Structures are given as structure tokens and as C-alpha cells.
Amino acid sequence: MQDLWIVGGSGAALEVWAVARALEATGPQAWKVRGFLVLDGPPEFDPEGLEVQDESAFLAAPPTPSTLIVVALGEPSLREKVARLYASKGFRFATLVHPSAIIGPASSVGGGSVLMALSVLETHVKVGEHALLNVGSSIAHNGSLGDFCSLGPGVRLAGWVTLGSRCDLGVGSCVRPRVTLGPDTRVGAGAAVVADHPGAATLIGIPAVPRPTS
């Protein structure tokens, strides 16, 4: 039996814990949730009797073969930084897929990613490593998500949509078919993206346009 540790102490960690609990309820798993590894203080929720450890103290000890990690941090760039730190120290990552999620034919999910309740990958969809797909998000045929992407609750990606690494789409946003968004694109809640964007910007509104900088 492997020990699964969830890195984080905020809402994303709580959501990931819910996925892990739903999987445990379906029957024995190869792992059991051991607790939370926090970066800056106690978790924002009741850990329900699970262990809580400071990340720096945890990383001071070498990893064991029975240890698995899932990085549950909502901010994509921070998730990347932390995941790379754990990987450099030899830790292995768990991939969690909620029992109600749907992974269609010829679709794949990268290591360390989490698919939450009712998320859908239709067919020929590729999800990169350490992605977080929140409740009720969906990706239509031939979609592609780069590493460390985040989809908020209810996000809808139409067919042939491509997201670069570290994209972060807010709750209820949508992207029309064949649109490509470059790395580090953020999409505001409820926005409708209808055109390509090279990345490193925040898109808001209907149709979505880059948020002015001042």
C-alpha cells in the first residue's frame, strides 16, 4: 500500500482530496491518502484526522518507494515550480480520475493530472502532465492541453482547441473550435474565446479580448 500525499492546503487541495476519497469509496486502491503537505501555514479546511506536514520538513527526508505525490495548487506556475522540485528529489506522482469522469477513446492523461467529478474528454484528447480539470469541465474531440493547465468548473473547450502550458481558464468560460491559446493565457470567468492568442495575457469578456494593462 502506497502513501498518497496531497501538496497544498487551500481549495484545490480540498477538491483533489474529494477525488481521492471518491476513488477509495469505489474499492481498494494501490494507495491510501496519508495527509497534506503545506507550504505556508495550516490548511484552510478541516483535514478530517489526516496528517498535516510542513513541506520543507517533508522534503528533508529522502523519498521512499511507497510514497506518491499529487500537487494540488491552483496557480499553474506555482504548481509547475513545486512539481519540478519534487521530481528533482526523486518523488513519483499519482494521476487521479474521479469515478464519474469520462475519458473517451484515443484520449490520454499525463502523469500527475487530476480529473474531477463529471469532467469529460470526448475522443482523441490529449491532456498534459499536472493538469487540473475541475468539476464539470469538458474537452471536445481532438483537444490538447499543455502541461500544468487549469480548467475551472464548467469550462467548455470545443473541438480542435489547443492550450499551451500553464493556461488557466476561469469558471464557466468557453473556447470556440480550432482556437489556439499560447502558454500562460488566462481566461476570465464566463468569457467566450473566439480567436487565437499567442499567450501571456488575460482574456476577458464576450467575445474575449486582452485585459488592458495600465
For residue 151, is pLDDT > 80? yes
> Average pLDDT of 119-135?
98
Give pLDDT tens digits for 71-113.
Answer: 999 999 999 999 999 999 999 999 999 999 999 999 999 999 9
For residue 213, is pLDDT > 80? no
Query: What CA–CA distance (Å, rounded) separates 61 from 34?
Result: 16
Query: What CA–CA distance (Å, rounded) separates 67 from 46?
Result: 23
Q: Does domain 95-203 have CATH number 2.160.10.10?
A: yes
Helix (H/G/I), strand (E/B), else coil: 117: coil
Q: Which CATH fold would you assign to the domain 2-94?
A: Rossmann fold (3.40.50)
> Average pLDDT of 40-62?
92
Chain region(s) in the chain for CATH 3.40.50.20? 2-94
What residue has cell string 495548487?
A: 73
Give pLDDT tens digits for 172-187.
Answer: 999 999 999 999 999 9
Angstrom CA distances, 116 to 58, 93, 145, 157, 197, stand at 27, 17, 16, 16, 27
For residue 41, is pLDDT > 70? yes
Chain region(s) in the chain for CATH 2.160.10.10? 95-203
What's the pTM value of the predicted model, to 2 decimals? 0.96
pLDDT of residue 214: 59
For residue 38, is pLDDT > 90? yes
Strands (E), 116-183: 120-121, 126-127, 132-133, 138-139, 144-145, 150-151, 156-157, 162-163, 168-169, 174-175, 180-181
